[in-house]
Structure 1
Amino acid sequence: MKSKYPSPILGAAFALFAALSNGTVGVLSRSAFNEGIGHTAVAFWRCGIALSLISIVVLWKGGGLARLTAAFAGSWKIAVCSALGIFTLYHFETQAFAYAPIPLVAILVFAGGLGAIALDIVILKERVTTRKVFAMVMVFLGGFFLIAGDGLVTGSMMGVTLALIAGLGYASFIFAWKFFKLRSSLENFWLFLAYGVVMLAVPYLWSGAQIPSANALPSLLLLSVIPSFCGFYCTILALQHIEAYKTQVIESSEPFFSALFAAVFFGEWLTGSGLCASLAIILGALITSMPDRRGVPLQGNKSSAKSYAAFINQRQLRLI
């Protein structure tokens, strides 16, 4: 039976590259904070600059404006995904970096997505195997011990709560994009960012509409290009090749990259128990990213099963 997912290996590669890109959010956001930029301004400008970049790409091709106009009709589904994946993630995650260390926030963001993984299995009817259950248990236990350990030692409960809300929003975005069966086109990605800019403009204007300084622009530009553009686009590309739950769990390897960058640039390390919890989450991601074993198509496609049986009979006759 032919798989409905074109290339599992390519999908896993996209998800892993998205995790690498998203792992830079913490250090780049902290760099912007050090230049006197508030969290609402960082969230708004990183999304706004990314929208400007994708606008150039879309409009560069002939008929770009017409394609955007056509895609806008009935784009409420993209707006829902943007509310989850852009507003909820950007607003709460960026704020969490002000209350907790970068590695802790990064890991909690993905530990908070377990509820959405359950939705993938229950609603999207994605097949449950022993390996999948084991992977999710590893992620759950890692997140639990991280909250119970480093969450109470190195960061405030405010930071933990904000990170978990951001994680639930991001994981729900992955589920919603797959549930709505949205295409990973540049036009849809433009609308995704455009809706996000509009939503993020509300807290940005409410907080005083801070204008970034020249020193903060490099950090904001890198935030826009690496996690906002490359990270999100690789995520929606991954969803075209692998299951939504698998994309979520593979991207839970982001804390590894985030912790590495935080240690190199800011000297922030997790405690011993935090490192063990992080390894449990990453182990769950690695187990999930392994290709599924393909069995004999004895169910669902009778013609394929008959063809396989005929092939075996011919091989046996040749041996005789």
Structure 2
Amino acid sequence: MAGASSMLIALAALFWGISGGIAGILLDGGWDAAVVSFYRGFVGLLFALGWLLLQRGGRGLASRPLWFWSIVAGLGVAGNFTFYFLSIEHGSVAVAATLMYCAPVFVYLVSFALKLERPTAAKWLAIALVMVGVVLLTKLYAIGASGLSLMGVVTGLLAGLSYAMFIFGFKYATPHGSPSAILTIAFTVLAMVLLLPADIPEAVSVINAQELPLFVALGILGAGLSFLLYVLGIKHAAPALASMVAMVEPVTATLFGVVVLGESLGIIQMVGMGIILVTVTALSTTSSKS
């Protein structure tokens, strides 16, 4: 069972990494980030709704806490999708995916502030190491000359912060209803929120565009199928194992960016990426054992 769960989580992370590359292609083609984010979420909504309709009983849709926390999760995933694609647009797929992987650090900081987690020297050291990794990866010490923009860095970190918001929302919604109900509400909120800033004529034009298959693939891999696989996998996987397997996402996104999009990373940036991936995984592993 553990092996099957790991495979489901790995596939979800793989699909998320590939979706970042697909988004990079669409953004390079001139499509608006809000439109790209909307279609990713809308296809995800169709999958979640289908899953909900197939489920019998135990949905929890009459629970007010379920709705509240699912809406919080929806706002989090809306911010995550949008800021992630903006980070790709102003930076690169590799940097955006790795910065988003910093989400557990934001979870720790919020948990410290709300006294949900006890801060320790080891945890503060891990957070400091991640900050060092971010500086090396993004070359903040030479932001203009490095080819990266401050906007790309800030939006990448905001994507991680938004994902942390989704984690909290999903966690507190889970005791009150089924994952299918939570995802349906969350993706509905996402679609409504992202439709407001989107260019409506451009969003409509997607239906007849040559890139329509890419939009569909983005939605299936980046939201619909991937979230379904992740939720099913996480049920029977230890958090430590899940956090390590989830490293597939930034690695896949980086490889896609280098091989398909022609992006490149310097030695210093690769060192920074390694520090972030190893430290965040160790931080998540330590947390799950405590």
Q: TM-score, normalised by structure 2?
A: 0.79
The equivalent residue for 2:282 is 287
CA pair 129-253 structure 1, distance change in 2 beyond 3 A: farther
1:105 to 96, 103, 107: 96
- Structure 1: 5+ residue stretches without partners: 1-6, 296-320
The equivalent residue for 1:80 is 72
The equivalent residue for 1:178 is 171
Q: CA RMSD in A?
A: 3.8
- Distance (whole Å) between structure 2 residues aligned to residue 124 and residue 238 of structure 1: 29
- Distance (whole Å) between structure 2 residues aligned to residue 242 and residue 41 of structure 1: 34
The equivalent residue for 2:136 is 145
The equivalent residue for 1:32 is 26
The equivalent residue for 2:250 is 255
- The alignment covers a number of residue pairs equal to 286
SS of equivalent to 1:141: helix
1:167 aligns with 2:160: yes
CA pair 195-90 structure 1, distance change in 2 beyond 3 A: same
The equivalent residue for 1:217 is 212
Please, which moves more after superposition, 112-121 or 247-256?
Answer: 247-256
Within a 5 Å distance, the mapping from 1:263-278 to structure 2 comes to 263-278=258-273
Contact 1:117/1:245 (<8 A) preserved: no
Question: Residue deviations 1:237-293, cap 9 Å, x none?
Answer: 576567989967874663222111111211211111100000111212443465889
Identity %: 21
Larger Rg: 1
- Distance (whole Å) between structure 1 residues aligned to residue 12 and residue 262 of structure 2: 24
Contact 1:100/1:160 (<8 A) preserved: yes
| Code of the aligned partner of 1:194 | T
Within a 5 Å distance, the mapping from 1:53-132 to structure 2 comes to 53-60=47-54, 67=59, 70=62, 75-85=67-77, 87-111=78-102, 114-120=105-111, 123=114, 125-126=116-117
Question: Residue deviations 1:6-50, cap 9 Å, x none?
Answer: x99887766554433321232111222344422111111111122
The equivalent residue for 1:156 is 149
Question: Residue deviations 1:173-199, cap 9 Å, x none?
Answer: 213322455455212211111111111
| Code of the aligned partner of 2:147 | T
The equivalent residue for 1:3 is none
- Structure 2: 5+ residue stretches without partners: none
Within a 5 Å distance, the mapping from 1:290-305 to structure 2 comes to 290=285
Q: TM-score, normalised by structure 1?
A: 0.73
